Amino acid sequence: MKPIVRIDDETIEIEECVRIWKLSGRFEGLMEELVRDKLAVHAARKQGIRLSAEEIQDRADQFRRVQGLHRAADMNNYLDALDISLDEFEVFITEGLYEEKVMAEVASQAAVEAYFKLNSPRFDSIEVSHIVVDSEGKARELIAFLEDDPEVFADMAREHSIADTREAGGLIGKVLRGALKTEVEARVFNAAEGELLGPFPSPDGAFFEIFTVNARHPAALDEDTAAEIRRLLREEWLAAKAQEHIIETL
């Protein structure tokens, strides 16, 4: 077992780190990130993606600049302190470039536009506000009051809501489909602007939520939507690639 940290006379070994990561719930996330990276690298090599020596050198130089390692001696000392060889560093740089190139193809502009064309209703969005209270009776009283005077929704949120949005007048902001609970989303996305909806109970009945739709935004391929589509394309691609391999935690 190899020690990686020393505190006075106590050494901490990699096995202990892994055990702590597992117990703290961080291990799964770290392993998922590692597997995702490796899947992309495998795909790049399978596709025959080539990297030039210049690309690798440029990325290594960029790494050095970010780390403030301006001299070769600084870089060597940095790697020695991490107990990482130059060959291992080159693998790190190379695999990072492979991953970038694969993901750039997966989430290209053409792929984003095609995905949007096929799934545009998915990217309809609405601007919503809510009020959260701790009893159904109070929620219904507020709805009755707001039906007579909907313009005071923000004031009522500031006065009565127990959610962290109260200072903003209950404003949640712009949301896409899939951002709200299923039973809420079905009604909210079909509601007219200014319509009051609810109260919706929490699973344990501890609080009740009232929504109002401030504005509706038909799907548009703007910057936010494109970013979400790129994320979805990467996730779907990685899920498909994972099915091509046997992945086990040892």
pTM over 0.85: no
pLDDT of residue 149: 94
Extended strands (E) in 154-205: 171-176, 196-201
Residue type, 57: Q
Cis peptide bond upstream of 199, omega within 30: yes
pLDDT of residue 249: 76
How far is CA 110 from each of CA 74, 95, 104, 170, 246, rounded to the nearest angstrom? 42, 25, 11, 38, 31
pLDDT of residue 108: 96
Q: How many residues are listed for the chain in this entry?
A: 250
pLDDT of residue 17: 85
Q: Alpha carbon 178 to chain centroid distance?
A: 14
pLDDT of residue 1: 59
- Could you tell me the mean pLDDT of each successive run of 10 residues in the chain, 250 residues long? 76 85 90 92 93 95 94 93 92 96 96 96 92 96 94 96 96 88 88 93 94 93 92 95 85
Q: Is 177:126 a contact under the CB 8 Å cutoff?
A: no
pLDDT of residue 21: 87
pLDDT of residue 181: 86
Q: Maximum distance among all alpha carbons in the chain? A: 74
